[in-house]
Amino acid sequence: MKQRRAVISKGIVVWERDRERRVDYEAGLISEYLDLKYMYDLFDQAFLARA
Alpha-carbon torsion (10, 45, 1, 18), positive or negative:
negative
* Class of residue 30 by CB neighbours under 10 A (exposed 0-12, middle 13-18, buried 19+): exposed
Which comes out higher in pLDDT, residue 10 or 22?
22
pLDDT classification of 15: cutoffs 50, 70, 90: confident
Separation of alpha carbons 18 and 32, rounded Å? 21
Domain that holds residue 35: 2-50
pLDDT classification of 2: cutoffs 50, 70, 90: low
- The domain tally of the chain equals 1
DSSP H helices, 1-51, are 2-9, 19-50
- pLDDT given at position 1: 57
pTM above 0.95, yes or no: no
pLDDT classification of 40: cutoffs 50, 70, 90: very high
Task: Compute the average pLDDT of residues 29-35.
Answer: 91
Which has the closest alpha carbon to 30: 10, 2, 9? 9
